[in-house]
Structure 1
Amino acid sequence: MWTERLPYLYEPGPEVTVDEQLVPFRGRCGFKQYMPSKPAKYGIKSWVACDARSSYAWNMQVSTGKASAGAPPEKNQGMRVVLDLTRGLRGGRNVTCDNFFTSVESTGLKLYASLCFMQKYPINTDIR
């Protein structure tokens, strides 16, 4: 798949961001998602790690939804996504993402991999 080649084609700078992206799509697809907060409400959701300066998609995963009917929801999905997308990234980089992706476990693992892990907070959030 072409997404497997993305990390070989570019070396990201010191700032990397991880976030979700909704590719607009209204056709038939088993994992099409509805996200009312996005401009295009229907589409295919993907997780993307991008170089913050150039916006190059260094790594990505397509979200296919739940594993199977009746299966329990995945725990720490955000942590798994960050770890998967930053695998192979050399140390000395700042990884920025929103609060969906953060947990104590992922922060500890990123520090172990010598990556600086930052989280975005809404302006009115008390972070004490």
Structure 2
Amino acid sequence: MELTTKLFIDVKNFEKYQSMLKYQVHIEEERHGDYCLPGFPDRHNFHRLLRILRKHDDGLTSKQLIYDFDYRPSDLEDATKALVTNNLSTTTPINEEDYKIQLNTEGIEVADNLLKRRDKITEAAYHTLSENE
């Protein structure tokens, strides 16, 4: 019982530390550059869409994103508009209700940089741990 409690506290401390590290290491990147798009207030949703589309080189339809990836239609519409406005993706109408969204070369580069940024955060967090931790 005591070990479980200690482990829980250690995990909570690590999560707190990781959050602080993420803030300190990448604060400027998050405020500037490709990580904050004008006209797109929900950065988490934007990053998620970039990561999903990066894994699908041929793009995805709006219905796939809504049903397979649990996007709310309004969030998807906002995210798509921001990506297209900032020249990171293209859309192709399929019918009146459905369209295909695909990252262009610039969008792929931004998505790759976002993934590298996540890896840097993870590496920085784990390199601070000792062998026992």
Q: TM-score, normalised by structure 1?
A: 0.22
Task: Identify, as 1 or 2, the structure richer in strand.
Answer: 1
Task: Identify, as 1 or 2, the structure richer in helix.
Answer: 2
